[in-house]
Amino acid sequence: MRAWALILCLGILTLGCDSMIESQIFFPEKGHYAEPGSFGLLSQDVELTTSDGLKLHGWYIPAEGARNLLLFCHGNAGNISHRLDNLARLNAAGVAVFIFDYRGYGLSQGKPSEKGMYLDAEAAWAWAKERAVEQGGRVVIFGRSLGGVAAVYLASRHQPAGMILESTFTDLGAMAKSFFPVPGLGKWLGGRFNSLGRAPKVSCPVLMLHGDADEIVPYKLGRQLYAALPGPKAFVTLDRAGHNDTYLVGGEAYFQLLAAFTADPAAALLQPPSGGLEMEPPPAPSN
C-alpha cells in the first residue's frame, strides 16, 4: 500500500494526469473465474447501457420472498466473479442482489475512470430500481471499499430505501496522505473520489461497517465519513477484521444484520444485532 501511495504521488507530481492517477486506483480483471451456478446460485445475466453508450454486464440473483433488492457496488480489483462466495452467503440469508461490473471489468466494455464509474452506477441504479418495483420493493445500495464512493454518489442523488457502506473512505486525498504524508497532497487530491463532500446530501438510513484492523483503508477514515453522514445511521466495528475478510470475521451475524437492514433499513437500525456484533445506535436527535 505504501508503494501504491508513492507511485500515485510521483505520478501526480511528474505527469499531473488523470490516467496516471486512475491507473493506480482501478485494477480490473477481464473474464470470469467462475459462474454463479458453480456456487449453487440461480442468476440472470443483465446487460446495461450507460448514458455514454457502453455495454455493462451484471448478475441479478433473486431470493425467495425478498422484496427489496441490494445493489452491490464492488471494490477496485477483480470483477463480479470474485464476489461469488460473498453473494452465495447473502443469498442464503435471503437477500436478492444485483451486482454489476464497472466499465473495463469482467464482461463490461470500456476503460475504467472516476467519471465512468459514476455513469456506470447510474445505469445500475436505473435497472435495480425498475426490478425492485416489479417485485414490490425498493433498492438498498451496498458499497464496499471503492464501491462506497459509487454508493454515496448514488445516495446523494437519489432516494434509496437505505445504504450499507463497508470498509470505505472519505476521499482520495485522505487515502494517499494516510500512507505518504506529503505536504499539500491531501488538499490536492481531496476533490477526487470524494464521498466526504457528498455525504451531507444523503438522507436515507445508513449502516456502516469497518474492520478495526483494516490494512488498506484506515479505520479512522471510515469513522470520519460516518461522522459526516446526517443519519439516521449506525456503525458496526468488526473486531480484528482486515480489509478483505470482513464478512468472514463477521460470520453469520454479519449476514443476518445485512439481511435485516436490506428488508427494513429503519427498523434494523433500532434492533441490536446478534452473534456478538455491537452496533453503535443512531445519535439522539438534537433539540
Q: Which string of DSSP letters, residue by residue, matches 199-263?
A: GGG--S-EEEEEETT-SSS-HHHHHHHHHHS-SSEEEEEETT--SS-HHHHHHHHHHHHHHHHHH
Residue 184 has pLDDT above 70, yes or no: no
Residue 91 lies in a domain: yes
Is 70 within 8 Å of 96 (Cβ atoms)?
A: yes
Q: Is residue 17, in this structure, part of any structural domain at all?
A: no
Contacts of 184 (CB under 8 A, 6+ apart): none
- Active-site residue 243, yes or no? yes
Check 32, 57, 74, 243 and give the catalytic one: 243
**281 pLDDT more than 60:** yes
pLDDT, position 182? 61
Q: Kindly state the average pLDDT of the residues 18-45.
A: 91
Q: Which amino acid is at 143?
A: G
Q: 128-166: per-residue pLDDT in tens?
A: 999 999 999 999 999 999 999 999 999 999 999 999 999
Which residue's C-alpha cell is 437492514?
261
Phi, psi of 140 (to 5 degrees): -110, 130
pLDDT in tens, 61-98: 999 999 999 999 999 999 999 999 999 999 999 999 99
Spatial CB neighbours of 194, under 8 Å, sequence gap ≥ 6? 149, 170, 171, 172
Helices (H), the chain: 2-14, 18-23, 84-92, 114-134, 147-157, 172-179, 185-189, 195-198, 219-228, 246-263, 265-268
| Cross-strand partners of 69 | 96, 139
Task: Please identify which of the residues 43, 81, 145, 167 carries the catalytic annotation.
Answer: 145
> Minimal CA–CA distance to 176: which of 217, 145, 144?
217
Domain span at residue 125?
30-174+194-272
Q: Which residues pair with residue 71 across a beta bridge?
A: 98, 141
Q: Which helix (H) or strand (E) holds 192?
A: none
Give the model's confidence band at 49: pLDDT under 50 very low, under 70 low, under 90 confident, else very high. very high
On whether the CB atoms of residues 277 and 253 are closer than 8 A, the answer is: yes
Confidence of residue 282 (pLDDT cuts 50, 70, 90): low
Confidence tier at 2 by pLDDT (50, 70, 90): very low
In a domain, 8, yes or no: no
Let me know if residue 185 belongs to a domain: no
Confidence label for 191 from pLDDT (cuts 50, 70 and 90): confident
The helix or strand, by DSSP H or E, that contains position 161, with its residue range, turns out to be none
In a domain, 188, yes or no: no
* pLDDT confidence of residue 54: 98
Tell me the CATH number at 38. 3.40.50.1820
Does residue 92 lie within any of the structural domains?
A: yes
- Examine the residue annotation and report whether 274 is marked as an active-site residue of this protein: no
Query: How many domains is the chain built from?
Result: 1
258 located within any domain: yes
User: Residue 232, preceding bond cis, omega within 30 degrees?
Assistant: yes
What proportion of the chain, given as a percentage, has pLDDT over 90?
77
pTM of the predicted protein model? 0.92
Report pLDDT digits (tens) over 257-273.
999 999 999 999 998 88
Is position 253 within any domain?
Answer: yes
The reply to whether 210 belongs to the active site is no
